[in-house]
Amino acid sequence: MKLKTGDKVVIISGKDRGKTGKIVRVFPLENRLLVEGVNIVKRHEKPRQAGKKGQIVDKTMPISAANAMLIDAKTGKRTRIGYKVEGDKKVRFAKKSGATL
């Protein structure tokens, strides 16, 4: 998976198309991402202690990694990600601007 935790991404399809956010968590085995402020759903919670009330909570759910693209820090536009070897390290770079990530 080319996207990593902390990357700023834009959503390219689905109900949240056009929204941007930072990746909070990555699930590489499922090819899914948790992006802050995207794919928010309502969940009903039961009361956990005696005397407490149940409530409806907004929760961020994972989205498919195919629905998100990295935002290039240099140009501010969405871009694909490539890899190149610099010295003895493999680094990611933005295909649009060529900037190292």
100 in a structural domain: no
Domain extent, residue 38, equals: 8-94
Contact 83, 93 (CB under 8 A): yes
30 in a structural domain: yes
Tens-place pLDDT, residues 41-89: 999 999 988 888 899 999 999 999 999 999 998 999 999 999 999 999 9
Q: Per-residue DSSP letters for the chain?
A: ----TT-EEEE-SSTTTT-EEEEEEEETTTTEEEETTSSEEEEEE---STTPPPEEEEEE--EEGGGEEEEPTTTSSEE-EEEEEETTEEEEEETTT--B-
Q: How far apart are CA 101 and CA 93, in angstroms?
A: 5
Q: Specify the pLDDT at position 7.
A: 94
Q: What is the CATH number for 42? A: 2.30.30.30
Tens-place pLDDT, residues 9-36: 999 999 999 999 999 999 999 999 999 9
Query: What is the number of structural domains in the chain?
Result: 1
